[in-house]
């Protein structure tokens, strides 16, 4: 409860006094979870459905409509948006860092569009890396077992107030079996490297930060062999498809502390990404993004804190589909699509009196697909008593259509009816969200955090099947829907050396009406479990020995077709660590201990769902 | 923990603080470093004299302003919130993102600068210098750079450095009882 949160208002504030459903994963939480990648760490967020589809694919979303193409979460890494204009969501497999370089991960459930803009519909995930002054010591991590990898970071001081670090990371994960229990053959191998520089001038008024990453990853998908009895040849429609994803990014930010009452920042980033599919006939898709962002916060008087800013994003999406993919070829040919997006936002945090804080703001955005999109938000925080906080909010957020969205002008039963949104004809889908929350904490021993929401969606566009074989009957087409949900987390530290966290969330989705067309989607609410629960416990058995146990439960999901139903499951993860001194840590980690294999999520993109296996690995970390 | 117990612990701490120079082995186990720093900060407020202009009726509380991330934790702040100082009550305000209006600043009696603001410390001290505000921090070398009171963690102890010149310049005075416990330092890097 002592954490700070920047993602709710773009300004740092106390977690306890945040008028939004916020959760912070600390570096220590990540370390003790045994996570080797970012998505694994996100599993600990109450109310965030984090399900693994294959070694490289994840479905991560809060408050419903989850899927491989989950398109309602805005994910940021050090201020850089990870929302892919091709995927209309996040390619989770390519988002990684040396785990020790992550300072914290903030997760806001609920809209964040009034400051972040479009696509922050159901939530914002903000991955924040450490300042390079905090990584002056080197670190090396090696792990091996059912998955293996290595991470190396070297940091140093380069000037009086200048610091730098470089990192490299390698990961190979070949877990997962298919439904017959055979190796799924979808192993994910990736390598990446990057840097961060921080520099501050002598009077502390100006600070510069620059960082960059490059990465390369390979996996196989839709391997038909041994998937089902009688299917064992490459002649099957589900060919072994070798997918290569690579890219890089570079970001620079300037912070200017004009005075005690005013500070501003400007940020520029460039991001490039390419995915190549090379079955018999390669297709490739790539995008380039240039984004400029400016923000100014100032306090004109005691009662108000005003923040305003603007953002411009240019994205280029180039599609070079495989000639075997008749729909894509017909629609696109090789072509580049340009997207411009410009937005301004303004926000006032008004301390009405000692007990009540009101935050009102809106973003106004212009995009290829719309004239202007208004994304307002009004939130109130009531400091009801010492250690008791009540908050409420109403907000609107939109998801902007992407060029790869599908539309159709004939009934889906006919052939070749699908078209892509290349002429920017689709309208945004929107949510109006009503939220209510309560927090209580008693010192650092006990805390309760509860949030309830009612969301009204209109013109929902739940993503599509991207560039893969698909079945028209699986497509659903929703116009209006509502979700109602409750999320709760309790943290209890009975003694210094023990910590428990119990969390649970329920979700109830109602489809109010279906559309006749023109927007066509493959993602449906039927893939969301209606109930999620987790219990995490951490014990410092001695000064040197740590034990962590983590239970998770996900309710059954019906699936779009009955054959796609995912039964409910329970998993148990454990970590036993020995820290003989402050620089060395050895950990033995096991995942899914209670079950040799189970399916967490099925998105219909392979012939059958894949299954997460029981896994063990040893991990050693050394600081030098 | 009962209120009575809290008060008793606090009283015992106060006695220890004044009677024994710079101890802290036992108390830190009880309170934790954060709470202890918050309590020390309150102690400094008790032993500081502000010019009349900061104590007149326009100030209904003694404002303890934290610039940057709250380094004490919520619990520690609650331990000092509302405590009496010079016939007024101490009120803690956290400016997490480091932005506060001129007006808010004028209301502050004590400003605690969090380590999150280390890099812009020179600029912060510059803006604070003309005012009769007690500046406290746990940024290493804070007092040498023109700040007034610095917490230092040496082993398991919390000690502090005081820059008497900086206090005098700000037209404040701090009780000799506190000064005797501190390591006195001078501003060495003027204007940096």
Per-residue tokens: A573: 């993860």
For residue A491, is the peptide bond before it cis, meaning its omega torsion is within 30 degrees of 0? Answer: no
The SS3 of residue A291 is strand
β-bridge pairing B61-67 and B88-95 = parallel
* Closest of A317, A315, A316, A319 to residue A334, by C-alpha: A319
pLDDT at A114 over 50: yes
- At A588, the pLDDT band (50, 70, 90 cuts) reads very high
Which residue, chain included where needed, has tokens 């892919």? A84
- In the predicted model, what is the mean pLDDT of residues A458-465? 53
- Interchain contact B58–A (C-beta under 8 A): no
Interatomic CA distance for residues A198 and B139, integer angstroms = 19
Closest Cα in chain B to A5: B96
Residues of chain B under the 70 pLDDT cut: 1-31, 189-192
Non-local CB neighbours of B186 within 8 Å, separated by 6+ positions: B144, B163, B165
Pinpoint the alpha helices (H) of A359-496: none
Closest Cα in chain B to A206: B120
Per-residue tokens: A159: 């000037």
The pLDDT score that the predictor gives to residue A332 is 56
Per-residue tokens: A471: 């079945």
Q: Is residue B192 part of a domain?
A: no
The pLDDT score that the predictor gives to residue A443 is 74
- In the predicted model, what is the mean pLDDT of residues A103-117? 96
- Interchain contact B48–A (C-beta under 8 A): no
Min Cα distance A297 → chain B (Å) is 8
| pLDDT > 90: percent of chain A | 63
- Nearest CB to B100; choose among A16, A203, A261: A261
What is each CA distance from B60 to A602, B53, B79, B91, B100, in whole angstroms? Answer: 62, 12, 20, 10, 19
Q: Is residue B61 part of a domain?
A: yes
The pLDDT score that the predictor gives to residue A234 is 41
The pLDDT score that the predictor gives to residue A504 is 97
Task: Kindly list the residues from chain A whose CB atom is less than 8 angstroms away from the CB atom of residue B97.
Answer: 6, 11-13, 263, 297
C-beta separation of A176 from A611 below 8 A = yes
- Interchain contact B188–A (C-beta under 8 A): no
Interatomic CA distance for residues A518 and A420, integer angstroms = 10
Q: Is residue B160 part of a domain?
A: yes
Asked whether this complex has an ipTM greater than 0.95, the answer is no
Size of interface A-B (CB pairs under 8 A): 92
**pLDDT tens-digit profile of A28-79?**
999 999 999 999 999 999 999 999 998 889 999 999 988 888 889 999 999 9
β-bridge pairing A123-129 and A73-77 = parallel
**Parent domain of B152:** 3-184
**Site from A204, A300, A445 to mutate, B interface, most B CB atoms within 10 angstroms:** A204
Three-state secondary structure string covering A515-545: CCCCEEECCCHHHCCCEEEEEEEEEECCCCE
Task: Kindly list the residues from chain A whose CB atom is less than 8 angstroms away from the CB atom of residue B107.
Answer: 302
pLDDT at A469 over 60: no
**Site from A260, A302, A493 to mutate, B interface, most B CB atoms within 10 angstroms:** A260
The pLDDT score that the predictor gives to residue A106 is 97
Interatomic CA distance for residues A555 and A572, integer angstroms = 15
Interatomic CA distance for residues A314 and A289, integer angstroms = 6
- Interchain contact B88–A (C-beta under 8 A): no
Q: State the DSSP H helix or E strand holding residue A90, giving kind and residue range, or none if neither.
A: none
C-beta separation of A62 from A48 below 8 A = yes
Task: Kindly list the residues from chain B whose CB atom is less than 8 angstroms away from the CB atom of residue A16.
Answer: 74
- At A352, the pLDDT band (50, 70, 90 cuts) reads very high
CA gyration radius for chain B?
Answer: 16
- In the predicted model, what is the mean pLDDT of residues A551-576? 87
- Interchain contact A541–B (C-beta under 8 A): no
C-beta separation of A37 from A51 below 8 A = no
- Interchain contact A207–B (C-beta under 8 A): yes
- Which is it for the CA torsion A118, A119, A123, A125, positive or negative? negative
Interatomic CA distance for residues B179 and B48, integer angstroms = 11
Q: How many CB atoms lie within 10 A of CB A543?
A: 8
Q: Is residue B63 part of a domain?
A: yes
* Closest of B184, B57, B71, B74 to residue B138, by C-alpha: B71
User: Is A4-623 in CATH node 3.90.1150.10?
Assistant: no
- Side-chain-side CA neighbours of A119 within 13 Å: the count stands at 24
- Interchain contact B60–A (C-beta under 8 A): no
Do A297 and B97 lie within an 8 Å CB cutoff?
yes
Choose the weakest-confidence range: A164-173, A413-422, B119-128: A413-422
Interatomic CA distance for residues A609 and A622, integer angstroms = 38
- In the predicted model, what is the mean pLDDT of residues A432-450? 92
Answer left, alpha or beta for residue A209, where phi above 0 means left and psi between -120 and 50 means alpha. beta
Q: Is A142 exposed, middle or buried (0-12, 13-18, 19+ CB in 10 A)?
A: middle
- In the predicted model, what is the mean pLDDT of residues A271-286? 81
Interatomic CA distance for residues A540 and A546, integer angstroms = 5
β-bridge pairing B134-137 and B149-154 = parallel
Q: What is the CATH number of the domain that holds B94?
A: 3.40.50
Query: What interhelical angle do B3-19 and B25-46 show, nearest 10?
Result: 80
* Closest of A220, A188, A175, A1 to residue A94, by C-alpha: A188
* Closest of B143, B120, B104, B70 to residue A204, by C-alpha: B120
Which residue, chain included where needed, has tokens 């001078």? B186
- Interchain contact B12–A (C-beta under 8 A): no
C-beta separation of B44 from B149 below 8 A = yes
Min Cα distance B103 → chain A (Å) is 6
Per-residue tokens: A462: 């739940």
C-beta separation of A565 from A557 below 8 A = yes
Interatomic CA distance for residues A561 and A110, integer angstroms = 29
C-beta separation of A366 from A373 below 8 A = yes
Task: Kindly list the residues from chain A whose CB atom is less than 8 angstroms away from the CB atom of residue B112.
Answer: none
Non-local CB neighbours of A478 within 8 Å, separated by 6+ positions: A457, A460, A462, A511, A513, A514, A515, A521, A524
Do B98 and A263 lie within an 8 Å CB cutoff?
yes
The pLDDT score that the predictor gives to residue A500 is 96
Closest Cα in chain A to B117: A204
* Closest of A126, A244, A182, A223 to residue A607, by C-alpha: A223
Most distant pair of Cα atoms in chain B: their distance? 47
- Interchain contact A11–B (C-beta under 8 A): yes
Interatomic CA distance for residues A589 and A576, integer angstroms = 6
Phi, psi of B124, deg, nearest 5: -65, -45
**pLDDT tens-digit profile of A471-494?**
333 344 567 889 999 999 999 999
Min Cα distance B180 → chain A (Å) is 32
Mean pLDDT of chain A: 86
- At A334, the pLDDT band (50, 70, 90 cuts) reads low
Interatomic CA distance for residues B163 and B185, integer angstroms = 5
Number of domains chain B contains: 1
Non-local CB neighbours of A89 within 8 Å, separated by 6+ positions: A68, A69, A70, A71, A73, A83, A463
Per-residue tokens: B151: 């917490």
Non-local CB neighbours of A130 within 8 Å, separated by 6+ positions: A27, A101, A102, A103
Interatomic CA distance for residues A258 and A261, integer angstroms = 8
CA angle A168, A169, A173 (to 5 degrees): 165
Q: Is residue B50 part of a domain?
A: yes
Interatomic CA distance for residues B46 and B123, integer angstroms = 27
The pLDDT score that the predictor gives to residue A203 is 86
Q: How many CB atoms lie within 10 A of CB B4?
A: 8
Q: State the DSSP H helix or E strand holding residue A423, giving kind and residue range, or none if neither.
A: none
- At A333, the pLDDT band (50, 70, 90 cuts) reads low
Choose the weakest-confidence range: A290-294, A557-561, B12-16, B101-105: B12-16
Choose the weakest-confidence range: A332-336, A354-358, A374-378, A617-621: A332-336
pLDDT at A102 over 90: yes
The pLDDT score that the predictor gives to residue A419 is 64
Task: Kindly list the residues from chain A whose CB atom is less than 8 angstroms away from the CB atom of residue B67.
Answer: 260
- Side-chain-side CA neighbours of A401 within 13 Å: the count stands at 25
The pLDDT score that the predictor gives to residue A126 is 97
Do A12 and B96 lie within an 8 Å CB cutoff?
yes
């Amino acid at each position: 409860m002592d954490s700070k949160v920047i993602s709710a208002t773009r300004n740092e504030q106390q977690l306890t006094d945040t008028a939004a459903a916020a959760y912070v994963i600390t570096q220590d939480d990540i370390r003790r979870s045994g996570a080797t990648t970012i998505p694994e760490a996100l599993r600990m967020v109450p109310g965030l459905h984090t399900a693994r589809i294959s070694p490289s694919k994840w479905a991560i979303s809060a408050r419903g409509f989850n899927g491989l193409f989950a398109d309602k979460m805005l994910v940021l890494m050090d201020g850089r948006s990870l929302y892919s204009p091709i995927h209309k969501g996040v390619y989770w497999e390519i988002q990684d860092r040396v785990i020790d370089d992550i300072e914290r991960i903030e997760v806001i459930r609920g809209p964040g569009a009034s400051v972040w803009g479009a696509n922050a519909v159901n939530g914002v995930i903000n991955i924040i890396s450490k300042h390079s002054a905090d990584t002056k010591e080197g670190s090396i991590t090696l792990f091996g077992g059912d998955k293996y990898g290595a991470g190396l970071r070297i940091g140093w001081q380069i000037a009086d107030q200048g610091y730098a670090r470089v990192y490299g990371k390698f990961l190979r994960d070949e877990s997962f079996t298919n439904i017959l229990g055979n190796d799924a053959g979808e192993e994910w191998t990736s390598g990446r490297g990057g840097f961060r520089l921080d520099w501050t001038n002598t009077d502390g008024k100006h600070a510069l930060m620059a960082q960059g990453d490059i990465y390369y990853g390979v996996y196989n998908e839709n391997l038909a062999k041994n998937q089902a009895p009688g299917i064992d040849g490459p002649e099957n429609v589900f060919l072994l498809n070798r997918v290569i994803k690579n890219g890089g990014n570079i970001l620079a930010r300037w912070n200017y502390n004009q005075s005690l009452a005013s500070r501003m920042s400007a940020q520029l980033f460039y991001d490039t990404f390419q995915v190549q599919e090379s079955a018999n006939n390669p297709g490739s898709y790539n995008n380039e993004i240039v984004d400029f962002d400016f923000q100014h916060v100032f306090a004109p008087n005691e009662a108000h804190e005003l923040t305003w800013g603007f953002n411009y994003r240019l994205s280029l999406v180039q599609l070079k589909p495989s000639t075997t993919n008749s729909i894509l070829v017909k629609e696109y040919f090789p072509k580049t699509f340009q997207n411009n997006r410009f937005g301004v936002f303004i926000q006032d945090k008004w301390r009405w009196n000692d007990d009540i804080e009101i935050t009102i703001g809106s973003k106004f955005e212009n995009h290829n697909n719309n004239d202007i999109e208004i994304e307002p938000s009004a939130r109130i925080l009531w400091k009801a008593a010492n250690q008791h906080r009540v908050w409420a909010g109403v907000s609107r957020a939109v998801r902007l259509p992407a060029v790869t969205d599908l539309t159709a002008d004939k009934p889906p039963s006919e052939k070749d009816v699908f078209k892509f949104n290349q002429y920017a004809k689709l309208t945004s889908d929107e949510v109006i969200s009503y939220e209510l929350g309560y927090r209580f904490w008693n010192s650092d021993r006990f805390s309760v955090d509860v949030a309830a929401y009612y969301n009204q969606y209109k013109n929902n566009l739940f993503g599509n099947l991207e560039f893969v074989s698909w079945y028209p009957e699986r497509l659903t087409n929703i116009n209006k829907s509502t979700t109602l949900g409750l999320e709760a987390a309790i943290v209890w530290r009975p003694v210094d050396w023990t910590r428990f966290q119990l969390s649970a969330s329920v979700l109830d989705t109602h489809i109010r009406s279906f559309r006749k067309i023109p927007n066509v989607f493959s993602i449906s609410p039927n893939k969301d479990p209606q109930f999620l629960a987790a219990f995490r416990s951490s014990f410092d058995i001695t000064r040197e020995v740590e034990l962590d146990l983590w239970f998770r439960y996900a309710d059954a999901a019906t699936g779009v077709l009955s054959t796609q139903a995912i039964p409910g499951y329970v998993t148990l993860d454990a970590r036993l660590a020995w820290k003989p001194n402050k620089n060395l840590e050895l950990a033995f980690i096991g995942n899914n201990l209670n079950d040799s294999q189970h399916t967490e999520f099925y998105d219909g993109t392979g012939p059958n769902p894949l299954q997460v296996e029981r896994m063990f690995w040893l991990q050693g970390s050394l600081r030098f | 923990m009962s209120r009575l117990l809290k008060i008793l612990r606090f009283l015992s701490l106060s006695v220890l603080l004044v009677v024994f120079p710079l101890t802290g082995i036992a108390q830190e186990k009880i309170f934790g470093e954060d709470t202890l720093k918050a309590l020390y900060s309150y102690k400094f407020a008790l032993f500081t004299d502000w010019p009349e202009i900061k104590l007149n009726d326009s100030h209904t509380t003694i404002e303890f302003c934290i610039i940057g991330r709250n380094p004490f934790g919520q619990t520690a702040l609650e331990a000092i919130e509302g405590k009496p100082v010079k016939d007024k009550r101490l009120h803690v305000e956290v400016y997490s993102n480091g932005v506060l209006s001129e007006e808010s600043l004028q209301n502050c009696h004590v400003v605690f600068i969090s380590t999150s603001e280390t890099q812009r410390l020179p600029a912060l001290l510059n803006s604070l210098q003309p005012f009769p505000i007690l500046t406290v921090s746990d940024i290493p070398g804070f007092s040498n750079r023109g700040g007034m009171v610095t917490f230092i963690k040496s082993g398991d102890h919390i000690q502090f450095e005081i820059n008497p010149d900086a206090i005098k310049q700000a037209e404040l005075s701090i009780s000799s009882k506190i000064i005797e416990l501190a390591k006195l330092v001078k501003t060495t890097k003027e204007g940096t």
